[in-house]
Amino acid sequence: MTLDIDAILTNPDKHIIVCTGSGGVGKTTTAAALGLRAAELGRNVCVLTIDPARRLAQAMGLTELDNTPRAVAGISNGSLSAMMLDMKRTFDEVVESHSDPERAEKILSNPFYQALSSSFAGTQEYMAMEKLGQLRAQSQWDLIIVDTPPSRNALDFLDAPARLGSFLDGRLIRIITAPARGAGRGIGRIAALGFGIFTNVLSKLLGAQVLADVGNFVADIDTTFGGFRERADATYALLKDSGTEFIVVAAPERDALREAAYFVERLNQDSMPLGGLILNRVQEVPETGLTQDQVLAAAQKLTAEGEGQLTSALLELHAQRMEIKERQKHLAMRFTAAHPNVSVQPIPALAQDVHDLAGLREIGEALANQGITW
């Protein structure tokens, strides 16, 4: 089953495309190429990338990307903007918009908040979703394409609402913040049973100062917490909505396909709308009606006769490519056997890397090409 990407890109009811997959498979480039194609099909698109290589920004004619969408020039028909997520800045803005200035100041200077906002595992994923919610709320774009971080935790944002909730509503936070809240209320029986053990172990692990910082942070954020939670819930609902499409990106290698399978299963588990799998760097080989063995035998015959060095090299090259293609096809077939409902779009390996809009456009054409025989 192939993936009809143009049907998704031109569907006016689709407003969000999330590209996910492991690192090194061309995910960000794919997101940019999808954005360009959608724009030239008439959509007003914003591409939100997490950590783009400088060359990708240059390919779009931008000297650099920052936390504000920048318009890409040279687009016919619709429009294209691109931005890069600044995790800390985005988190700060959320705090500022939900607190009075005095309280915001207090939160922003809390050491625990600073660590949380700059390196909390999952903050990047969560802030990407927050930014997505913000962009969606502005009416300037009718399609937002977002690229997720290249880690196994890339789908942590799906858990963000639940995690945030269990973190701030949890029993442990109540124990820890007891001093800041005025001990007594809410600790109840757990405290009677194990207060000593918990604070003992946690302060051994984290240190007393950290616990105090956390306590202060939670006390300060208590009033703004409702806002956090509502936004996380709203973004989760937005992702699950039929206006969203998830695209998994992979390369035809064992590791990358294993990660793709993991992402597909995770998305299914949460009933997220999955558009399909884009398989980059696929080896294409022109059909010649010959088998790999026939080609290799011919190359060997020439070499043995001590002639035709060039032709023999060309034949060997051809045979090598046939072998790579066979292996890749085998891997892709195994993926499809395990996930028969996932449509797969193969993208041929390009001889050159992407340098400009023309390069991105070429990838966009391959993305939409229903006739790639592979």
- Closest to other proteins by CB, 41 vs 116, is 116
Interface positions, 342-371, toward other proteins (CB under 8 A): 351-353
Among 12, 170, 186, 188, binds other proteins (CB under 8 A): 170
- Closest to other proteins by CB, 223 vs 294, is 294
Interface positions, 4-23, toward other proteins (CB under 8 A): 23
Interface positions, 48-87, toward other proteins (CB under 8 A): 51, 53-56
- Closest to other proteins by CB, 100 vs 365, is 365
Among 297, 333, 338, 358, binds other proteins (CB under 8 A): 297
- Closest to other proteins by CB, 12 vs 170, is 170
Interface positions, 216-245, toward other proteins (CB under 8 A): none
> Is position 111 an interface residue for other proteins (rule: CB under 8 A)?
yes
Among 189, 204, 306, 371, binds other proteins (CB under 8 A): 204
Among 112, 126, 141, 335, binds other proteins (CB under 8 A): 112
- Closest to other proteins by CB, 143 vs 331, is 331
- Closest to other proteins by CB, 115 vs 333, is 115
> Is position 290 an interface residue for other proteins (rule: CB under 8 A)?
yes
Question: First vs last Cα of the chain: how many Å apart?
Answer: 12
> Is position 152 an interface residue for other proteins (rule: CB under 8 A)?
yes
Binding mask 238-277 for other proteins (x = CB under 8 A): ---------------xxx--xx------------------
> Is position 195 an interface residue for other proteins (rule: CB under 8 A)?
no
Please report how close the Cβ of residue 94 comes to other proteins at its closest, in angstroms.
17
- Closest to other proteins by CB, 41 vs 173, is 173
**3-state SS, one letter per residue, for the chain:** CCCCHHHHHHCCCCCEEEEECCCCCCHHHHHHHHHHHHHHCCCEEEEEECCCCHHHHHHCCCCCCCCCCEECCCCCCCEEEEEECCHHHHHHHHHHHHCCHHHHHHHHCCHHHHHHHHHCCCHHHHHHHHHHHHHHHCCCCCEEEEECCCCHHHHHHHCHHHHHHHHHHCHHHHHHCHHHHCCCCCCHHHHHHHHHHHHHHHHHHHCHHHHHHHHHHHHHHHHHHHHHHHHHHHHHHHHHCCCEEEEEEECCCHHHHHHHHHHHHHHHHCCCCEEEEEEEEECCCCCCCCCHHHHHHHHHHHHHCCCCHHHHHHHHHHHHHHHHHHHHHHHHHHHHHHCCCCCEEEEECCCCCCCCHHHHHHHHHHHHCCCCCC
Please report how close the Cβ of residue 361 comes to other proteins at its closest, in angstroms.
18
Please report how close the Cβ of residue 138 comes to other proteins at its closest, in angstroms.
29
User: Counting beta carbons within 10 angstroms of the beta carbon of residue 63, is it exposed (0 to 12), middle (13 to 18) or buried (19 or more)?
Assistant: exposed
> Is position 116 an interface residue for other proteins (rule: CB under 8 A)?
yes
- Closest to other proteins by CB, 120 vs 225, is 120
> Is position 333 an interface residue for other proteins (rule: CB under 8 A)?
no
Among 12, 24, 188, 226, binds other proteins (CB under 8 A): 24
Asked whether the beta carbons of 343 and 298 are under 8 A apart, the reply is no
User: Counting beta carbons within 10 angstroms of the beta carbon of residue 84, is it exposed (0 to 12), middle (13 to 18) or buried (19 or more)?
Assistant: buried
Of 77-85, 90-98, 99-107, 324-332: span binding other proteins (CB under 8 A): 324-332
